[in-house]
Structure 1
Amino acid sequence: MCALNSCEKSKWCTSDDGITTPGGSSMSVGIATWLSSSLCNGEIGYISHNDAHLVSLCTKQTMSTHQGLGYLLHPMLHNNVYTIPFAILILAEFENVLPSSVCLFVCFLAALSEDCDSSDCRMPPDWHDVIFCKSVFNTKKRFLHVHCSWSPYLSSSSSKSTEYKLHLWSDSDCEAIATNGPDYTIRKNKLAVTEKTTIWVSHHNVSGHCVKTNNFSIVPQVNCEPPNIQYAVHASNSLSFKLSDNGQVRYRENVSTQWHIINVTSMWTTISLPETSMPTSYVVQQRCSRESCFHCIWKGETKIPHKLTGAPDIFVTTKKLSPGKQRVTVEWKYIKHDYVDGYFATIQRLPNSCDYSISFNTTNTTLQIDLSVAFFNVSIRAYNRAGSSELTSAVVHPLDMPELPGKIFATYENDTIFLTWSPLFSCNFVVINWGTSFFQMKSRTLMHKIDNYSIPGPFERMKRYMIMIYLYDSCQCQYSTNETTFGITSIYSEEGVPRTGPSDISVRNVTKTAAAIEWGEIPEEDCLGFLLGYRIYCTSTSRNTTLEMFLNSTNQRRYLLEGLTSDHAYEVTVAGVTSKGAGTPSASRMFKTLKYAEVEFQSIIMSICGGIFISAILISVLVYTIHRKKKNVYFPKIPNPKHSQVIKMNKEAPSKIKLIQSSQFPETNCDRYGVEVIEQIPIVSIPTESCIQRRETCTMKKQTHPQVSPAQAPNVQDYTSMMSMINVFKRMPQSTNHVN
């Protein structure tokens, strides 16, 4: 063969595994086949992908001194084997190729075959797709190195050795790097930065067999890291986000599994979404651009919630604690709670004397804190990555009747409010607040020891001023949690009468001579003074007389009207009373007393019901009696022959006739309508049914049988003249009305 002749001329040695060069290096059979076919015949050979790569490398380096040799090398991947069409375009120039050039060419093949030939390595199922490489850049986006990592080979047949070989194969180089760990950093000097590099890892198990990972291709200078989402918002029917670099993005609804993929060519991207009745969150993933990177993986899911709208609803409750303290519980509800990352809560004193506020960042919907007895403003807003909701606020009012450690005494004179207190406190730092409402409170901080204080005017007439004194644990301005309310009082510069009456007048439990009335509070801003009690006006509409009652209490808003006239209409009104007198009465309420007392009415009802019951019984008895009498007249009783003694006699007649005929007793006299029986004991003769039907009188005779000896007197009844009676009974009708 031509290949053998060429080898003989070059003093090469062949074997079953390949070709051995004069220096003893081996070359795979695939390369030998290619050499024999291409160098001698110029035909196309089929070799493994690593051998093809080596041929390409060696051909470039060997033929660089022979520009006349043209060739075409085009690898095509197919099941890890490359099919290489290799054509010698100018075969004539091979005559000018020196044997030394051919030997140099083969030497390159022999030297590089061992590092890049993976034809003898198999790819086990449990070690597939386990390698991943990524390029690493500095802050100026300059390429530094490539870092590769893979899963350790953990087969039962694997050796305890952790030696691996990392193979690098590019168009201009091929190298195998030994390493002991499951990762390796490839420096820039070992890479063809601008060319595609194929990387894989091989390992030899205990039996000496070679196993390899999948091939990983990368262009080192291209950043294949997935871009980062720097900003994202889901508002209305659009999804907007900002990426750190171009790439691909896929998105889906949070409750869906269907992805939608788009190419992102600019940093800002907006996607139109279908209209939905309810807001929903979207999940987004991003990866590098497939046009510049060979291996791009989807980055972890990023949840983009819907933009928050509206505001939470706040509910505030207070509870009494130690003197001068109250526990404030704030609860809120938000309809879009499922799309919220958290809540910002802020508590601020009114007025903010020490310029401190308390802030919380929480995921809960309940907040509890111990504060002083004062006015506080609580504000809540929800937030997520799409933004924040509207702010909602609520005012915490002091307890109505708090327990306080001290008392404040206030007097008004010459447009000045003079304050004293008890007991005296030793702290040389005190805060005094006063005002008509929480949003009009004024504050004064005193940093010296005092035992009284005068608040200068002017003050509004008929306005209630609330005055509060606060102390601090360390006698200096601190948070409201370290604040204690010393005392609270109120004062009017000048009082008036209430300008409105109570609301919600109601009348309950109306009887024959009494009625209970109830009413609501008069708003504090309408009292225009300290409320002392209530005046009640009750007017009889028929007599045009009015009764006035005064209730000396502001907490009790219920009164029992007594001594009223039965079956009369009344009109009732209520007015508040201050030191200046009674104010404007409330709206009137009409009611009418009962004509009868409840007991009387019940007695009347019971009497009526009893009379109706007794009358019903009497009528029932009377009807029954009349019905019975009429039935006896029109429907008399008819005897039932079935129960007649005569029927029995009819059945027993033949046997008894025989007894009568054979009887030895002498004949006895009997009339034609009766039967006389002679026995030892007297027997009453029973009248027959035929006698009753004929309306005839049947004579019953009673006789005593003559005394005979027991041996001579048989226990047999004697009947005479029975034949005539039997004939009568036989002629009687059979179908009659019977009485059972």
Structure 2
Amino acid sequence: MLSRAAQLDSKSGGPLSFLIFGLMLIICSVFCPPSQASTESCKKVNPTFVSLQRCRHHPDGVRDLDCFSRHYQPTYNCAWRPGRNAARNTYTLVVTQKSKKIFQNISDFHQTIRRQKNTNLSVEIFENLHSDHCTTAVFHGSPKSLLRCEPPVNVSFSRSDGELRVTVTWKQEDAKLINKFAVRYKVLDSPSWDESIVESLDANTCRVRTLNTSLVYAVQARCVTNEKCSQCPWSSVYIVPRELTTQHAVVSIKDTDIPEETGQRLISAAFKLHDCHRLTIGKVSGEPPRQQVDTCLSDFRLILSYSAYQINISTYNNASVSTPVSHIIPERETMHDDRRLNVTVHNSTAFSIRWKPDVLKMFICYSVEWKGSGQAARYRSFYEDINNYKTLSPLPEPLEPYKRYSIVLHTRPDKDTCNMKKVNNSESTYGRTYVYFLEGSPVGAPANISSHSVTLNSAVVRWSPIPEEQVRGFLRGYILHFAHSNQRGVRTETNITVGPTFNSCKLQELKVDTMYQVQVSGFTSAGAGVRSATIFFKTDHEGHFHYRNVITVLAVVITVAIVGTPMLKRAKSVFWPNIPNPGNSSAVQKIEGSCQLELLGILATLEVEEWDTESLQILENDSLVPACTFATVLPPLGAFELEGDPPEMTSKWSQKDIQDGDLSPVLEADTFLEKRQTDCLGLPVAFSSDYTTMEMFQQMMPETPAHEGMKNKSEDITVVRTKLDYVRQFSTGSTSDSQQMFTIF
């Protein structure tokens, strides 16, 4: 209403408006509080600031608030870690630089803040602001102290001789600001980083010395702080394995053919150690590349051409590589003088190589290798899709005269480049041939000349080949120069030519009983070479007896006798049974009675005397012998007369008188034998086996038991006293061809 009056008054332009305005000022100054209090009371209160006052710091709440900047970024990056107890968290970030700014309802654990120059930064984070368990964390920093350089993006290690070499790579933006970096290390599983920090001399390499080669270490790296890198956090922990000090070993390297793949071969080997292995493969000629193959398998396989290769094999881990072991795969020369390949030498610095035209349909990239004897191989790769030949000129080194060169052509399947991209399965050998820039005659002669199998009109001459370096050309063959002189002294020489693959020759149509001298030489397209030393041999004369053959036969016979005798004995023991032991005979085991035992006792006490086929010996002995047994054992002497013996040796016996009263009168020997033989005619005397003596005793003994025989001894057996110890005679019976000995007791 006052405003309306003032508006009307202003329109009228009277003093009433000034009066009303003055009254309003007076009333306001009296009833209104000071201006600041009036302003705050008039503003609406923000509930966020009321909630912030309820949050508190807690170890299980939000924590590890960190903010940093990079020299090339206009912002701060703040990050934190959430509380441990909250399931779903929301965050409120209060940032104070020149002014205060609030970021609400943040669900991530980081926030980007725009940086204000030359202004300190203060950041406070609140977790779950509107809950009763609100927690907070605070960060303060100046702009210069918040410039951070990141840890290295790549770290590699190399251990050798107790030294650890650490190589790092930085982010491209930080690499220009970092001059040095630091490394700290500890033994793996050690509780703390108690070792000293080692600083590098440059920005990429650091060396840590005097480490134990058998221990595993944990390593971290970071940059060294400077004005533009005030913050250098440690990198993540890297595990450095033990140093490899033992060389690798392979069981064996095998070189085998690949079925239906000519010009390539399979190289394979197995490792003894179950570690990771690094293979570095390259040609012996030096042609790049040198391919590196890492494998953790127990073996490896490579497909290579017929060239010579060098393979270096070592064990490795992420920190060290063992000392490599070098293996040379020799070139294969199975394609010797392949007719598919032709080489023409123009001069010492140029030659042309030609192959079959059908190869152009499959290959357009080639490689030529050539080398002289004892020289390193040379190589040249080329592209050819029109002509089936290529002239190589100029050569890096001129060809030498009188030296053999091996030239090999390889084909390569890659068409974008004729240089090898890799070694494994990159080419195959097409062909091989040999050439000479200039040939000469041999400067060496065959060695070890000798003659063999000399007969009346022939002989064989043998020799060893000429060394390759002395041939100086392609060997065309050998010349045998042999000569002899007749009785007049006229010398006749004859030459025989044989091929280059021969090392012997048989000389025929020679003269009997003649001395020959022989020399051998080789020849090339340039002519014959040096002759060998002279050997001499003489042909046999007629009726010559070859003692060598006799000696050979005797040696064979003696060898057979020495070796064959034990074999025959062994065969006899296997295929023929041994002669049985008479003690095991049933005939011996059935002997019973005192008479039989008495006879066996007498036999056991006999002394064997030397046999005499020309005499009959009669010895005296006073002993009692059963008459029946005596007659049985002592056949009629007339039946065993030896041929040629005089009658007086067998017709009569001399004997002594016995004492009175002992036995009946002593009879004449012949009468006594005839009487006892008549008494015992009923006993069988046919012997069926070799145990003649035993069976004779058994058949002539009575069947009565031993005790009955003793009772009836006086009734059945007539006892006589003989004056003979035994009668021994050798004769040959009509029923047997073998000698028999009869002993008379």
TM-score by length of 1: 0.44
